[in-house]
Structure 1
Amino acid sequence: MAELIKIILNFSERAGEIARSIRREPKLFSLLVEEKGESEKNQRFTHDFKTLADVLIQEALRHYLTQMIPSLGDHVQGEESAEFTNTLGEKITVRICDTQQETAILLAKVLDGNQEAADILADVVHSDISWSPEPELIEKIPNLPIEKLGIWIDPVDSTGEYVKGKTGTTQGNIYSQGLQCVTVLIGLYDRMSGLPVGGVINQPFAVFNEESKSWQGRVYWGVSHGGINIHNVPLDTYNTEDGRPVLVMSSSEDTKIQDKFNKTFTVLHATGAGYKLLVVALGYAAACVSSKGSTFRWDTGAPHGLLTAQGGGVVIFKQLDHLTKEGDIGGDNLNELQIRYHKPNDHAVQPSLQWSNEGGFVAYRDPSTLYRILECI
């Protein structure tokens, strides 16, 4: 199991390098963007984009996991279809081939015959990534049930910021927008219970190195199973503004809901579902609230696994008042409200919404924060 986690951690860094490689080549990047169809659009945005980076990262994860555990490759789910349409209107199914040369030939078709660009991408996908996770933590990883594992991946979360390519500005420790909000999300869950058992979040553009004029990434991860919790996140105290705990939300949230929370929390806005939940795991915010069904399982799976390893979680916002019936925020009642990842929503209006978090969510690291959330709503 430790080897599996190491492979996923190393893969997340490979994914981050794919994202950085594409951003380094403006001509290449312009070739890779196509607008999503109407049925796929996130309801909060007028425009949403799919990039080859999404598909390439998603299929690369499936490829490398299948090499190690053939049955696990069948249980990798993500946002994107592997079918990509190039600028000539040709539809090509993107996959990682057995050799770098074969992958480059396939990618050249996507890139309208741009073999040089295809070679760059194929080289990154097939290259060895020399990144070593913390050995003292890796050796403590519990024996997860591989035969029951499922994986959700969001290859490039906050695609809009990725496309814009701008450096963000901070509110305290939290970026409201910018490349720093882009994340690669890989979540592990138990296919029987649907509960998360681990999560990896990679920030490909965490820090800009002024000397080398290049971006450097950061990786956060956690595993929780059988009463054993392992993670690499420093347990800092929550960030506060004006003496009040911070709550992070989307700027598109209903102003009436924001006003309710403003009485107790300092409400800050940030883009990217994965990033907003990451700042909770990092202790920069006490909680993240989304009252709408505008996020999906691939958005919350990885941070949910990371938060669970810290003693936190991600519960359904519209069922939060059920906690008051039992008055037991730390027990089984809270466990029942955790988002599950193994079954689609019943009676989804359209196929694209079958994996949406239709009841909204509340992400927290300390369960006692939920008392304050309840008092506000």
Structure 2
Amino acid sequence: MANILDTLICASEKAASIARSCCESNCSESLLVVEKGDSEANVRFYKDYKTIADVLAQETAKSFIVSQFPSLLNDVRGEECSEIGGLTISIQDSVEKTTNLLSSLVPEGMARCMANAAHDEVHSPCDKEYYPDITTLDYSDLGIWIDPIDATAEFIAGVCGNAAPGFGLDCVTVLIGAYLKSTGQPVIGVVNQPFYDSGKGRIIWGVSYGDIQKCSVDVVSYDDNKIILTSSFEHEDTLKKFRDEGWQIQSVPGAGNKMIKVALGEAAAYFVSKGTFRWDTCAPHGIIRSLGGDVTSYKNYRTITYNDAKELPTQKYCNNDGVVAFTKQSVFDEIKSILET
């Protein structure tokens, strides 16, 4: 039987390959970009976008997961609606048919690059010998959240060659998280950074299930780390509280990008008072839990869960009470103390 962790890793790599293909097609000026409507958009953003790459990456990842675990057909959910530009995107049974479908929206060269990426056989670049034994996981109790291309605005800017220094493609992540439907707890997180190290890419995974807590990377934790990540939309009064206590505030794009920096020890924590969605946080939450940390709401400090009912309006999947992500309890305690002053 297929390994669920390996399947999610391979699905993330398929999505990452589609993202990278947009840089290879020499048609970046024709990348289909659609502004999301009010029902889909993140309320923190003046404008929120999706591209044909977002939609194809999501549908390809979903298709691959279900091909390995057919019982998950109705339990794999993603950020994007499968419709874009008046067309419903799905993986066809050949490269040619997928190319033909996509070429009704974008130039044929780009369509073919993306179709090839969607259909190419993929192998996990991760060391399978390091995978934990999670054969006792009940797949009938499993749900999946996918964010096919997190930080879409940075993806668009990077593909089109007009990203600001320190922004752009390096901030892009593919996020696939698995949770228990019975409890809502995230148990597996896969974060794929397609453009890491000049496009070589990097995959980070974590498992937190039962007595198993295992992450693909050894994280070096520094007691004197006083970097906290947040959004550029936060109130200055709140930021001042942290600065007064010696914290260094940084704002970088992408919820997945911020949270993986916390997991890797590049920042001590991340907080945002509103916004982000379940698909933004499920995968990195799984990794952070594998390292002994947690992701809670900003307002009441309850652990975020992911087993929301299906087919709700998009805004119902928003983390409306904000997010606090951390790997150390002492950091979390200090954050609460500062916020409550």
TM-score (norm 1): 0.83
| Partner residue, 1:352 | 314
Query: Stretches of 4+ moved more than 6 A in 1?
Result: none
Q: How does 1:311-326 map to 2 (within 5 A)?
A: 311-320=292-301
Q: How does 1:115-264 map to 2 (within 5 A)?
A: 115-141=108-134, 143-165=136-158, 169=165, 177-208=167-198, 215-238=199-222, 245-264=226-245
Q: What secondary structure does 2:217 align onto?
A: coil
The alpha-carbon distance between structure 1 residues 142 and 225, as it changes in their structure 2 partners (threshold 3 A), is farther
Q: Partners in 2 of 1:4 and 1:276 — Cα distance?
A: 25
| Partner residue, 2:323 | 361
Q: What secondary structure does 1:40 align onto?
A: coil
For structure 2, the residue ranges without an aligned partner over 5 or more in a row are none
How much has 1:75 moved relative to structure 2? 0.9
Q: How does 1:36-115 map to 2 (within 5 A)?
A: 36-85=36-85, 91-111=86-106, 114-115=107-108
Aligned residues: 334
Q: Partners in 2 of 1:191 and 1:180 — Cα distance?
A: 33
Deviations 1:230-264 (A, max 9, x none): 21122212385xxx511111111111111111123
Aligned 8 A contact 1:137 1:230 in 2: no
Q: Partners in 1 of 2:132 and 2:184 — Cα distance?
A: 25
| Partner residue, 1:285 | 267
| Partner residue, 1:342 | 307
Aligned 8 A contact 1:344 1:355 in 2: no
Which has the larger displacement, 154-163 or 6-15? 6-15
| Partner residue, 1:329 | none
Deviations 1:8-65 (A, max 9, x none): 1122122111101112334255242122224433222222211011111111122112
How much has 1:301 moved relative to structure 2? 0.5
Q: What secondary structure does 1:106 align onto?
A: helix
How much has 1:268 moved relative to structure 2? 1.2
Aligned 8 A contact 1:239 1:285 in 2: no
Aligned 8 A contact 2:176 2:191 in 1: yes
Percent of aligned pairs with the same amino acid:
39
Q: What secondary structure does 2:291 align onto?
A: coil
The alpha-carbon distance between structure 1 residues 131 and 179, as it changes in their structure 2 partners (threshold 3 A), is same
How much has 1:129 moved relative to structure 2? 2.2
Aligned 8 A contact 2:22 2:113 in 1: no
Larger-gyration structure (1/2): 1
The alpha-carbon distance between structure 1 residues 167 and 109, as it changes in their structure 2 partners (threshold 3 A), is closer
Q: What secondary structure does 2:265 align onto?
A: coil
Which has the larger displacement, 307-316 or 244-253? 244-253
Letter in 1 for 2:303: Q
Letter in 2 for 1:291: S
| Partner residue, 1:332 | none
Letter in 1 for 2:194: P
Aligned 8 A contact 2:59 2:91 in 1: yes
Q: Partners in 1 of 2:2 and 2:329 — Cα distance?
A: 29
Which has the larger displacement, 262-271 or 197-206? 262-271
Which has the larger displacement, 299-308 or 361-370? 361-370
Q: Partners in 1 of 2:223 and 2:44 — Cα distance?
A: 28
Q: Partners in 2 of 1:132 and 1:303 — Cα distance?
A: 19
Deviations 1:93-127 (A, max 9, x none): 1011222222222222233xx43332221111111
For structure 1, the residue ranges without an aligned partner over 5 or more in a row are 86-90, 170-174, 209-214, 321-336
Aligned 8 A contact 1:238 1:284 in 2: no
Aligned 8 A contact 2:204 2:216 in 1: yes
Q: How does 1:267-278 map to 2 (within 5 A)?
A: 267-278=249-260
TM-score (norm 2): 0.92
Q: How does 1:298-309 map to 2 (within 5 A)?
A: 298-309=279-290
The alpha-carbon distance between structure 1 residues 246 and 28, as it changes in their structure 2 partners (threshold 3 A), is closer
Q: Partners in 2 of 1:78 and 1:342 — Cα distance?
A: 13
